[in-house]
Amino acid sequence: MLHRLRELGLSVRVFEKGDGVGGTWYWNRYPGARCDSESHIYCYSFAEELHEDWEWSERYPEQPEILAYLQFVADRLDLRRDIEFETEVTSATYDESSSTWTVETADGERVSTRFFITAVGCLSKPFRPDFDGLDDFEGEWYHTARWPDEEIDFGDDHVGVIGTGSTGIQFISEVGGRADHLTVFQRTPNYAVPARNRPLGDEEYADIRANYDDIWERARDSRLGMPFDWEQHTAFNLSDEEIEEVLEERWQQGGFRFLHAFEPGYILSNAEINETISEFIREKIREKVDDPETAEKLVPTDHPYGSKRPPMDYNDYYGTYNRDDVTLVDVDEAPIEAFTPDGIRTADDHYDLDTVVFATGFDAMTGALLAIDIEGRDGQTLEAKWEAGPRTYLGLGIHGFPNLFTITGPQSPSVLTNMPMAIEQHVEWIADCIAYMDEQGYDRIEATEDAETQWVQNTNMLAENMLFSEAKSWYRGANVPGKTQVFTPFPGGLDNYREICDRVAGDDYDGFELDRVDDAPTVEGR
């Protein structure tokens, strides 16, 4: 966004809480952190020079490599000179008379700006359950999303992990065998599909480079922002054996290619085929875990495959439970009651622990936005407006909050896609919109109430027709006690969404109100 706005000749200041670039990949340094999107598409597509001078080493990039990539991009595009690091934005207030925002930082600095753009991420405010007794726990504890920048030696420790989402699964398979004992506190099992990570060979890489234009075109024009094909759109007319064959082939390919066995929207809306796929994975889990009782605890039955974000298995996750030094504790059956000075007490036992790792996720989608005290027109706060759940138009604009753009905001495809594709689409759309406003002499843009209401209804209706409502997921805010539960990302596909956004822009920003503020003081170049 910074790069594009500079290209438009605007003056831009970026505020960043961390002391370096990287966002998610700056904060999530836990052992095993890796991206589930394949590396060659988990990067920027807009500048060819970036592909030419960067080479990914593995099919899925590890956290240090992604962080190094983002540092490389920041240097190459000379971004750092406009970024204020270690600076937390605490509030942003819209002033109607001048049509400007005043952004305030924790240091007390106040900046006046014509446009206020948030790029705070969808999964950036960590969520930690409020367990009794944590203050009295005499061991060490960490949250995976605030991992220290140093190696932690678990060697002699009894380590406990709470959480078996994507993060927990990566951490558990990486640390199983590296600690004296690992105890996993699982509330809900998940469907982990083998990622099938491997180094990227020279020939394969040359092929990727030679075909990048085509790869990006297919990724942009896809539901999930990934350039993968499916042979059969649906499973209609296929026998059980043929379906099994397709699934087995995709299982061998691994990662998100498995989710492309059939068209992903179909998998997520057809309960019958979804159950066949879910059962296929359940059988794989049963095959991998030696102890049948442990296996059954690891088999998910409470939600359909894909109705929660599907995790990946990089390191024989299920095999980890065959080790003598790894124990699975079902805290759905016997919940965690409290921390004690020596460990964790559940409803039916006590576990002695030296270290506890919270892999308990995030206050997703809205948490980081609402952590900033945002006040729009007529003194309305975003927190008050979103009390019953987020309301946006396209996930880009909010009625009552003029000249605020939210990159990967609620009700945009964001987390249901390969994120860089969704981010780039938003960045391009916002930059084009600002350029259009300048060309036409507009000072202000605001989503209309009608357009916003229709968009929220549209998003909800699409989600209701899919299987998402059958899972207690962070997609719906169900992981944070007390949070309003509403499905938040746009589930209609990045391809369709892009078309809608292009049509809106082509129609003079249909659904937005644009106007001039005659007496507004000009804020030069902002």
Q: Which residues bind ligand N01 (CB under 6 A)?
A: 34-36, 123, 129, 162-168, 170, 185, 187-188, 309, 331, 336, 359-362, 415, 474, 479
Of 246 and 281, nearer to ligand N01 (C-beta) is 281
Q: State which residue, 116 or 305, has the beta carbon closest to ligand N01.
A: 305
Which residue lies nearer to ligand N01 by CB, 119 or 517? 119
Cβ contacts of 166 within 8 Å, gap of 6 or more: 36, 309, 311, 312
Measured from the CB atom, is 193 or 235 closer to ligand N01? 193
Please check whether residue 167 is in contact with residue 29, taking contact to mean a CB–CB distance below 8 angstroms.
no
Q: Which is nearer to ligand N01, 255 or 376 (by Cβ)? A: 255
The CB-of-284 to ligand N01 minimum distance in angstroms stands at: 19
Find the length of the chain. Answer: 526
Beta strands in 16-113 (DSSP E): 83-84, 89-95, 100-105, 110-113
| Interatomic CA distance for residues 489 and 409, integer angstroms | 8
Say whether 170 sits in a helix, a strand or coil.
helix
Min dist. Cβ of residue 413 to ligand N01 (A): 13
The CB-of-173 to ligand N01 minimum distance in angstroms stands at: 12
Ordered DSSP codes for 480-516: STT------S--S-HHHHHHHHHHHHHTTSTTEEEE-
Q: Tokens for 335?
A: 């919940």
Closer CB to ligand N01, 224 or 447, in the complex: 224
Q: What is the CA radius of gyration of the chain?
A: 24
Taking the complex as a whole, the smallest distance from the CB of residue 168 to ligand N01 amounts, in Å, to: 5
Close Cβ partners of 459 (under 8 Å, ≥ 6 residues apart) = 411, 487, 490, 491, 492
Find where tokens 């397709």 sit. 246
Q: Based on the number of CB atoms within 10 Å of its own CB, is 84 exposed (0-12), middle (13-18) or buried (19 or more)? A: middle
Q: Whose Cβ is closer to ligand N01: residue 118's or residue 167's?
A: 167
